[in-house]
Amino acid sequence: MTQILERLRDLVGDAGLIADPQDAASYTIDWRRRYFGKALAVVKPASTAEVAAVVKLCAETRTAVVPQGGNTSLCGGATPDGSGGQIVLNLSRLNRVRAVDPVNNTITVEAGCVLANLQQAAADADRLFPLSLAAEGSCEIGGNLSTNAGGTAVLRYGNARDLVLGLEVVLPDGQIWDGLRGLRKDNTGYDLKQLFVGAEGTLGIITAAVLKLYPRPRVRTTALVALESPGHALQLLSHIQNACGDRLTGFELMSAFCLALVARHFPATRLPFAQAYPQYVLLELSDTASGENLDAALQVALADAAERGLVLDAAVAQSEAQAEALWALRENIPDAQVSEGKQIKHDVSVPISRIAEYITLTDAELQRAFPGVRLVTFGHLGDGNLHYNIAAPAGADEDAFVARAAEVSRVVHDSAARFGGSISAEHGLGQYKRDAILRYKSPLEMELMRKIKVALDPQGIMNPGKVL
């Protein structure tokens, strides 16, 4: 053991090694404080060559490697187990922007680059890197790619996977695969980069990537719309897509209870409506052509929707400050939930066309099984993705309720499966849903995954205990 530590120190230097358990604590506990792991060491290499050398040593000594970026996984995907025999390989020191090519619309970055810094580097070149999510100030692009992150811009720009042109990966034997191509088209064999995106570090370690950039939106308009039901929201989605096409870049559903929580825990909150409504949609249009009058287009589309009975009320932001205030309603939901108390959280997706029916049936089933539960339902309706979170009935014993999480989640997940949905739309499996997935994926699909795992990581040293 000590010998491995010394050899690791030789490879990465004192600045790259944290062996003291107390110093290592922030790397061995997950974001939601659900997993408390223990590491042989936290290793922080400063270059791809150092990552390769560390992994080579681990392969030689059969030491398990837990790759980690900003440590913001919501599923314990980057937390070591409790054995103290695994190393955490943290990529935060590999944080350079290697190149920006505005004509090719690409940026080449290292895995440890914080997402917000990457967005800024793109903006500095007058381009957009569209991936955007709540943790963007601390999450790192290597983790975003390894978990195929989603976020608020998926409707228009796709998931993290869709933004990747090339990867550099350290393989489980310590070899470096240089797949850093910046090509829009390349049909010369298997698209290997796809294997590593979304694999949660179980097949290798992404150390750098070539990512797509886009023209920056020049105009933007944001609105809060009040509606009767998720079914009306679904019809509104089709209506706006038909009227405005690709300009629709955000379409977030929030139940009345979500906004009530935000109002309660963020006293500065001002809702633009005098009365409460059952459901709300926050929608955003944007356009890369500066001459566009998006406000006018949206007003026309919303008036038309109101005539059809889809919309109860609507407020279009008249300034950037108003737009930010509307977005704050959506963005403050997670923190409002925390202030309110414990919830049982889910991250499900279903085909978009079935989302209203999914909510109706699942709500009813939960009320039957757990009368009085409070549903904090919000999410990326335009992607068919809901954060379907559940709080204890008002006045009930919260801890007793949360102790029944497995039963509650079973109802939510079984229902998603019946609708052809997924139990993890954007957060991944990590260790949190590793067992649950066995109920929903066919044995054949699990077998295919295991074949890939064994083919690339025959020793099983890459992030064991995650995904598979």
In order of 24, 41, 42, the CA distances from 84 in angstroms are 11, 8, 11
- Complex with its own copies: residue 40 or 149, whichever CB lies closer: 149
> What minimum distance in Å lies between the beta carbon of 24 and its own copies?
28
> What minimum distance in Å lies between the beta carbon of 413 and its own copies?
11
> What minimum distance in Å lies between the beta carbon of 295 and its own copies?
14
DSSP-derived secondary structure letter, 36: B
3-class secondary structure for 333-352?
Answer: HHHHHHHHCCEECCEEECCH
104 Cβ partners below 8 Å, 6+ apart? 182
The separation between CA 115 and the C-alpha centre of its own chain, rounded to angstroms, equals 12
Q: Counting Cβ atoms within 10 Å, is residue 273 exposed (0-12), middle (13-18) or buried (19+)?
A: middle
Residue 340 CA to residue 338 CA, distance in Å, equals: 5
> What minimum distance in Å lies between the beta carbon of 20 and its own copies?
34
DSSP for 289-326, please give it.
STT--HHHHHHHHHHHHHHTT--SEEEE-SSHHHHHHH
- Complex with its own copies: residue 40 or 359, whichever CB lies closer: 359
Give the chain's end-to-end CA distance (angstroms, integer). Answer: 27
DSSP-derived secondary structure letter, 66: E
In order of 225, 333, 337, the CA distances from 265 in angstroms are 22, 9, 9
- Complex with its own copies: residue 40 or 205, whichever CB lies closer: 205
- Complex with its own copies: residue 93 or 380, whichever CB lies closer: 380
> What minimum distance in Å lies between the beta carbon of 126 and its own copies?
8
What stretches of 217-316 adopt beta strand conformation (E)?
Answer: 219-227, 248-255, 279-287, 313-316
- Complex with its own copies: residue 12 or 461, whichever CB lies closer: 461
> What minimum distance in Å lies between the beta carbon of 179 and its own copies?
7
DSSP for 114-136, please give it.
BHHHHHHHHHHTTEE-----TTT
> What minimum distance in Å lies between the beta carbon of 399 and its own copies?
29
> What minimum distance in Å lies between the beta carbon of 185 and its own copies?
4
> What minimum distance in Å lies between the beta carbon of 82 and its own copies?
24
376 Cβ partners below 8 Å, 6+ apart? 255, 257, 258, 261, 333, 337, 343, 387, 389, 390, 391
